[in-house]
Structure 1
Amino acid sequence: MPITFRKSFRILPGVRLNINRRSWSFTTGGGDHGPHHTHSSTGRSTTSMDLPGPFGWRKTTTKRHRGH
């Protein structure tokens, strides 16, 4: 079983700093069922929203690195 590490800190109201073994990210928003916006150090950007009941919505985009 792999060892995992994940920690989340609230740095301001509505702003969280998330840290894991490979990267870190900032999450903003997400009040009562509002949208969350997450920007990761790996270039990933995710927008997600909790919907009523057991439903949720998520859209993830990743920066593409151009090789020269």
Structure 2
Amino acid sequence: MPLTFRKSFQILPGVRLNINRRSWSVTTGGRHGPKRTHSSTGRRTTSMDLPGPFGWRKTTKRSRRG
């Protein structure tokens, strides 16, 4: 079984800092509305819980132009 590391800290009301083995991210938003997550790897996720067992999520990855 692989070892994993994940920790989440609330730094302000509605703002969380999430840290894992490879990256970190900041999540903004509350329980009753959209949440936006910005990761150090360039991934941006917007998610929202819908009534019942439903949820919605859209993830985009920052493109590398060089």
Aligned to 2:25: 25
CA RMSD of aligned residues (A): 1.0
Gaps of 5+ in 2: none
Q: 1:10 and 2:10 equivalent?
A: yes
Give the whole-Å Cα distance in 1 for the aligned partners of 2:17 and 2:45. Answer: 14
* TM-score when normalising by structure 2: 0.93
After superposition, what is the alpha-carbon deviation per residue over 1:12-62, rounded to whole angstroms, capped at 9, x for unaligned?
000000000000000001232x10000000000000001111110000000
Give the whole-Å Cα distance in 1 for the aligned partners of 2:63 and 2:40. Answer: 13
* TM-score when normalising by structure 1: 0.91
Deviating 4+ runs (over 3 angstroms): none
Equivalent pairs counted in the alignment come to 66
Aligned to 2:38: 39
Question: Is residue 30–residue 49 contact of structure 1 (8 Å, CA) maintained in 2?
Answer: no
Gaps of 5+ in 1: none
